[in-house]
Amino acid sequence: MDRPTFDKLLAMSVKKQVSDIHLQVGYAPLFRINGSLVEVKIPELTAQDTEDIAKLILSHRNIDLADRKFEDCDTSYGVEGAGRFRVNIFKQRETFAIVLRVIPHEIKSFADLKLPNTLEAIASVRRGLVLVTGATGMGKSTSLAAMIEHINRTRRSHIITVEDPIEYLFKHDRSIISQREVGSDTSSFQTALRAALRQDPDVIMIGEMRDHVTVDIALKAAETGHLVLSSIHTTDVVKTINRIISFFPPEEQGMVRLRLAENLMAVVSLRLLMHASGAGRVPAVEIMRVTRSIQECIKNPEKTIEIKDHMEKGRADYGMQTFDQHLVDLFKANEISMEVGKFAATSAAEFERALTLEQ
């Protein structure tokens, strides 16, 4: 497959509002639309096709595809006038396969994304650690981009992003933004984060929390008065707390709990659900903002499970909410069906009971 044909395929994916594109030998390209994979009506890809596509994507990087020790590769690719794509290239059955995530040119607002107003308040904090969580494809990067753009439009700051690869491209507004890509602008997340603390940042955005070293540096940045935004692959707030702590050896976890309690400002967890109309998806959002009560729950492993109760009670005063609370709202607003709500709920029985109590 040559570049014009490939670019045309990608441009078509943007028009059809595709989230991901899968390219694998022996199959036609697959588009993920509203969570489902749909086959594109073009001939099946050959081994030569996927190798050619991998080469043209990596034409700017010094990578030898003939090397039998080739490892998975993360990078990005752009099509002028269409959009940008986050790319993962890997080998399966001794042939190349490629998955591309569509990254629109436009950075949407919280309102455009149907995210709660509380996220605007969270993005407005000046120091501490804010985490956006969810499974793959649930909107973490899009939500982080909305937060960065909100800061960009509302205050004068130096924002540094460290990403692998760079996804959304930001333009300076009231802030200046330095975007660094691991592999081309810096050798690693750790190197870039250590350097960032010497680059007069106000805000640091880390593409993903991957290990205890990254978490440790992020906490140090938060401790010294910076705002740190990042994402992590966890499905809800309590699991996020436990996951962060589990990065560290047992003998360090007590201190990490203390540091996290003192510096964590908020956790936002996302799940994209099918809209009741069957067209498009709508986000269900769990939000925790750290209060004194929640600080105690983070410090004490026996109380961490109580965080959910504090979130439920803190809705009116702090804009917090559990997934199940938001699912009830979405169902009442005809945004999701009963079936989708019950499937997505932490407890289907509790979801149904909450609806009954509100009738």
Report d(CA 150, CA 59) in Å as an integer. 34
CA distances from 120 to 50, 117, 154, 155 (A): 42, 6, 11, 13
**Alpha carbon of residue 136 to chain centroid:** 7
Report d(CA 125, CA 128) in Å as an integer. 8
pLDDT value, residue 120: 96
pLDDT value, residue 54: 95
CB 272 within 8 A of CB 283: yes
pLDDT value, residue 358: 66
pLDDT value, residue 357: 73
What is residue 91's three-state secondary structure?
A: strand
pLDDT value, residue 39: 95
pLDDT value, residue 319: 96
Neighbours of 4 (CB within 10 A): 8
pLDDT value, residue 346: 84
Walk me through the domains of the chain, giving residue ranges and CATH numbers: 3-103 (3.30.450.90), 118-321 (3.40.50.300)
pLDDT digits (tens, 9 = 90+) for 2-29: 899 999 999 999 999 999 999 999 999 9
pLDDT value, residue 284: 97
CB 133 within 8 A of CB 269: yes
pLDDT value, residue 61: 73
* Positive or negative torsion for Cα 198, 202, 207, 211: positive
* Positive or negative torsion for Cα 101, 106, 108, 113: negative
Residues of the chain whose pLDDT is less than 70?
67-68, 358-359
pLDDT value, residue 352: 86
Compute the residue count for the chain: 359
